[in-house]
Structures are given as structure tokens and as C-alpha cells.
């Protein structure tokens, strides 16, 4: 692209950036503002995991340094490998399936594509504070509503979870169990 002017408008910059991202997507690469890793070549031919092909469960709640952590496990129940990349959507529901408070925010941690062979699992970790340190605690929920990454279909799993101090975060899906 050649510019005839010394001035490059914001609109022109946005159009150029959009065109560059579209070219990357067409080439099979992905870009994320918080992580600049591309999908692994082996993962590019693997389909994305869907809610129908996953069993979701929670691990053991743990506390550390004023925080409570709860892993959410994604297990591939299909016959073929599938891939997960990014953050799940997570919200707390009461016994009548009404959402309590806002959904979890993303931790900001970088991530990569996780390929799950049949029967294998990966996890994402949710976090809140351990009590009302910077604000009150909300009501204890009965369920977590979880949208796997890149899915518009949610899964509801039983979980007693309450958000304290307006802190509710989720980490990306990974195999290390990291937040």
C-alpha cells in the first residue's frame, strides 16, 4: 500500500488493520490482542469441541492468598480429537436458573489451542476472593452456566459458588491447571 500523503487518518489505519487481520484469517492464522500465537499446524485440521461432545465437571475448590479457585474440567466424549482455544463463558445461577451477578471476566493470561483426544481433559479455573475483603459476598449459586470457548451452547453443572468482593474471573482452557 502506497500513501500519497504524510498524514494517515485513524479511519485509514482501522481499514488497514482490518484488511491485515482478514488476510491472516484467510491464511489460516489467528490473532488475539492478548496473545499473538497462531494455531498449531496439527490443530488446524482438528474440529472445534462443541458442548454436545464434551462432559463438563468441577474439580476440588482450593484457597490460596485470599482467593478461592475452582477448576472446570472439559472432557472429550466424542470418537475424534477436538480443539479448544481461549476462555469459556461462566456465570453463576440460582436454583431457578436465574443468573446471579455478572458473568466472569477473563484473567488476561495468554493461551494456545488445546487438542483433546477422546476421553482426555483440559481445564479452566475460576476465581473469587475468600470472603468479603473488598466488598460483600453475593448469594450462593446452585449451578454454573458454562459456554465452552467458541460455543453458543451452554452447559449447566451443579456447583455451590458465591462471588465475593465483586471479583469473578476465569482463566483460559489449558492442560496445566493454571489460572
Give pTM, 2 decimals.
0.74
Cβ-contact 53, 155 below 8 angstroms: no
- The distance in angstroms from the start CA to the end CA of the chain is 42
Residue 18 pLDDT level (bands cut at 50, 70, 90): very low
- In the prediction, which pLDDT does 168 show? 97
Pick from 156, 173, 125, 153: nearest CA to 50? 153
Q: What is the pLDDT of residue 25?
A: 37
pLDDT tens for each residue of 63-82: 988 999 999 999 999 999 99
Percent of the chain scoring above 90 in pLDDT: 68
27 vs 163, higher pLDDT: 163
Specify burial of residue 106 (Cβ count, 10 A radius: 0-12, 13-18, 19+).
Answer: middle
Give the mean pLDDT of the chain. 81
- Res 30: pLDDT: 34
Which segment of 17-26, 27-36, 81-90 scores lowest on mean pLDDT? 27-36
> According to the model, what pLDDT value does residue 177 have?
87
Q: Is the pLDDT of residue 178 over 70?
A: yes
C-alpha cell at 2: 502506497
pLDDT at 135: 83
Mean pLDDT of 27-48: 49
Per-residue pLDDT tens over the stretch 89-137: 999 999 999 999 999 999 999 999 999 999 999 999 999 998 877 789 9
Q: Do strands 114-116 and 121-129 pair parallel, antiparallel, or not at all (unpaired)?
A: unpaired
Amino acid at each position: 500500500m502506497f500513501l500519497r500523503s504524510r498524514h494517515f487518518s485513524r479511519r485509514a489505519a482501522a481499514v488497514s488493520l482490518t484488511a491485515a487481520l482478514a488476510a491472516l484469517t484467510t491464511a489460516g492464522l489467528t490473532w488475539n490482542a492478548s496473545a499473538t500465537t497462531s494455531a498449531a499446524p496439527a490443530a488446524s485440521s482438528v474440529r472445534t469441541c462443541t458442548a454436545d461432545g464434551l462432559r463438563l465437571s468441577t474439580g476440588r475448590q482450593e484457597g490460596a492468598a485470599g482467593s478461592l479457585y475452582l477448576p472446570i474440567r472439559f472432557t472429550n466424549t466424542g470418537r475424534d480429537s477436538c480443539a479448544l482455544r481461549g476462555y469459556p463463558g461462566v456465570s453463576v445461577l440460582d436454583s431457578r436458573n436465574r443468573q446471579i451477578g455478572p458473568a466472569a471476566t477473563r484473567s488476561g493470561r495468554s493461551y494456545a489451542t488445546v487438542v483433546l483426544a477422546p476421553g482426555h481433559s483440559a481445564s479452566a479455573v475460576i476465581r473469587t476472593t475468600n470472603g468479603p475483603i473488598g466488598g460483600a459476598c453475593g448469594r450462593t449459586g446452585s449451578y454454573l452456566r458454562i459456554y465452552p470457548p467458541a460455543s453458543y451452547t451452554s452447559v449447566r453443572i451443579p456447583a455451590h459458588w458465591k462471588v465475593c468482593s465483586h471479583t469473578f474471573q476465569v482463566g483460559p482452557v489449558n492442560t496445566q491447571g493454571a489460572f
